[in-house]
Every structure is written in C-alpha cells, then in structure tokens.
Amino acid sequence: KSMRVQLASDVHLEWSQPAFSSIIRQTEDVLVLAGDVGVFDDRTLEFIEWCSSKYEHVIYVPGNHERYSSTCDMEEVDMKFKTFCKTQGNVFYAPCDTVIIDDVVFICATLWSHVPQQSQQEASECINDYSYVRTQGRPITPSETNAFHAAHKEYIIKQLAESVGRECVVITHHPPYTGKTSHPRYDGSSLSSAFTSDYILEIYPEHLPSLWLCGHTHYNFSMTVNGTRLISNQYQRDGGNSYNAGTSIQI
C-alpha cells in the first residue's frame, strides 16, 4: 500500500513561541521532523510529546541547532534527546540511523556539509555552529563537521545499496544539492559550502531514492533531480515556497 508522510523542519522553538497546532496540522500517520526543531529544553521536549500524541510514528532527524549548547558536548545532547524520545515509544531520534515503517526504508542522517580548505577559516568565524556546537569541551571545527559529512554520506550510500528493490526515503537536515535549495542571494557565496553539498548527483543512479526530505536553508523547495524528488517544508523561512502546516507527501 502507498504511504503518505508529513514533513516539517526548522521550527526553531528557541526563537519564538508559536502554538504547536499552528506549526503542524495532523493529516497523516507518519511525521518527519527534518531537524532544527529546537535546542534541548522543556519547550522542545513538550513539542516532541505533542507530536508523539498526534502521530503513530515520528521520525526525528536532528539538525545542527539541536546540538547548540553552552555546556554540553554534542554527543551528550544526542544522548539526552535519544533517551527522551525513547520514553515516548513512537519517536525515533535518528542522527545516523535507518527506520523501517510498513516496508518503507527511511535512511536518516544529519548529513552536515563539506567545507573546502579555502573556506574553513571564514566558516569557523562566521557560522554559528563553530561557536555553539561542542565536542571534547570545546567548539567543533570545520574539519570535524567534514568528517561527520563524509561518514553520513558513506552511511547513506551503503544503506541505499543494501536496500535496492525496496521503497527508500532519505531524510537529512542539510540538503544534498546546491541548485535552487537556498535563497538566490547566496548564489556564488564562499560560504554556501557550509549549508549544502552537491551530493545527490554523485550516487550511482540505480541507488537513488525516489524521495529525499531535508531542510536547513530556510528556503522552501520542491524539485526533481535525477529522478529523485527533493522536498523541504521549513517553518522559519525567508523565501521559496510557503510553509504548509498540513503538508502531505506521497511516497
């Protein structure tokens, strides 16, 4: 049977206090949260509980902002989120994991992005991740997020290769494609590598998923690249398609 899912990302509960019912209107059984819902605090946990009560399944792929903390390493933040989501029973916190629901394979990873050597200094000075995401008691570096990106990319490719012939959906926070996934004003920016990576085009065509859900850029898009539908539905946005609280996506 065919499945439909709902998608939301970049809610950024740390920035504003919208009513939960204005963020998401339940129309399907499966909700995909593609990252940057909020930081680990009471409000974000309340929202997760609320989503859990509305849906049969919630797949939560964390973004970069989930890991923002002045005191905790990102590994500790992930553990806290994972532990809390487990208590809900139907919420899968998936920083780099695969979830199977009704024979549909959801391959999940934050993804991050590849920042080339010549942009690393500028990125570490200008991108908040390199001040507010911590590991080993200090802020992370572009070479570390590059390593996360390489590992997540490898994981996705491996999972797709192992799932040939099955219905696969990839969920990442960072988009796997640069063209038209960010506001046009960023075209040619030396920092665009810190937001997106041209990666969907590098996978062997026979392994491409039919659907790829993502967020991060605050610019909503729906397009098809090499036969893969690439869709975002970001609550906080400064361009692109408008946000749809009741969005329903056919797999």
pLDDT of residue 107: 98
Residue 135 has pLDDT above 90, yes or no: yes
pLDDT of residue 83: 99
Residue keyed to tokens 């408008």: 242
pLDDT of residue 2: 80
Residue 177 has pLDDT above 80, yes or no: no
182 — pLDDT class (breaks 50, 70, 90): low
Neighbours of 72 (CB within 10 A): 18
Q: Per-residue b/e over 217-233, b at no fewer than 16 CB within 10 Å?
A: bbbbbeeebeebbbbbb
Question: Domain total for the chain?
Answer: 1
pLDDT of residue 199: 61
Structural domain boundaries, residue 116: 4-250
Q: By C-alpha distance, which of 149, 138, 207 is closest to 175? A: 149
23 — pLDDT class (breaks 50, 70, 90): very high
Residue 239 has pLDDT above 60, yes or no: yes
pLDDT of residue 134: 98
116 — pLDDT class (breaks 50, 70, 90): confident
* Strand residue runs (E) in the chain: 4-8, 30-33, 57-60, 91-93, 96-101, 104-109, 134-135, 138-139, 167-172, 211-214, 222-225, 228-232, 249-250
Residue 152 has pLDDT above 90, yes or no: yes
Mean pLDDT across 34-52 = 98
The winner for highest mean pLDDT among 81-85, 122-126, 163-167 is 81-85
Residue 29 has pLDDT above 90, yes or no: yes
- 57-66, 71-80, 126-135: segment of lowest average pLDDT: 126-135
Residue keyed to tokens 């749809």: 244
238 — pLDDT class (breaks 50, 70, 90): confident
Instruction: Answer whether 40's CB lies under 8 Å from 66's CB.
Output: yes
Mean pLDDT across 27-51 = 98
For residue range 96-110, what is the model confidence (pLDDT) as tens digits?
Answer: 999 999 999 999 999
The CATH number of the domain holding residue 119 is 3.60.21.10
Mean pLDDT across 191-211 = 65
236 — pLDDT class (breaks 50, 70, 90): very high
pLDDT of residue 18: 95
pLDDT of residue 245: 97
113 — pLDDT class (breaks 50, 70, 90): confident
**pTM of model > 0.95:** no
pLDDT of residue 7: 99
